[in-house]
Chains A and B, each alone.
Chain A
Amino acid sequence: DIQMTQSPSSLSASIGDRVTISCRASQGIRNSVAWFQQKPGKAPKSLIYAASTLQSGVPSKFSGSGSGTDFTLTISSLEPEDFATYYCQQYNIYPITFGQGTRLEIK
């Protein structure tokens, strides 16, 4: 199975900061990566697919990049509603696998 390793596992940041979350795949997966946001007690929300394509309705402060084994999710200017846990997912090869999550907290 492909392992997806996110870093950091947790991150403290301030309103207005630019933050980057990394995700590394255990083998090359082209650009077959998606990103999700989850707030406590809520269902996940889909943000990005194909490494850099925003899902419909997702604000442009979110961006993704990467190909092969290394991927990043960037939030350009943090707002209060962005504090949540973020997950990457690879869908290049079955079984589909998720990263362990990155918890983004307010500093």
Chain B
Amino acid sequence: EVKLVESGGGLVQPGGSLRLSCAASGFSFSSYWLSWVRQAPGKGLEWVANIKQDGSEKNYADSVKGRFTISRDNAKSALFLQMNSLRADDTAVYYCTREGRVVVVPADWGQGTLVTVST
């Protein structure tokens, strides 16, 4: 069974930093693209970033480019999102997703971790 468990969310002040983690199990971690998708309270889904199997390709939404960094540790089956210069509009539930084998589209989702940026 594919399992994705996010952690690291919490309350942070504007301008602060936070590092999200996603622990994966139940599949061959190094064989899949992975991504982060977020959802602000009461709003729709927003793609944040994705990363290729070996980490050689990373893509970001314009809204986070230059502030967020996606990375992975294939030896530990872990995905990360380093978030710097956080703003109030980064407040959201952040989901870790495993992409499909055939196309880079989420096939499996974690339960999400809430990030709140506020004074």
Contact = CB atoms under 8 A, between A and B. Distances in A.
A7 to B, nearest CB: 14
B95 interface: yes
Contact of A89 (B60, B105, B111): B105
Interface residues of B, number: 23
B103 A43 contact: no
> Chain A: interface residue count, which band?
20 to 34
B45 A49 contact: no
Contacts of A66: none
Contacts of B32: none
A89 B105 CA distance: 9
8 contacts: A43-B109, A43-B111, A46-B109, A49-B107, A89-B45, A95-B47, A98-B47, A99-B44
Interface of B: 37, 44-47, 50, 59-62, 95, 100, 102-112
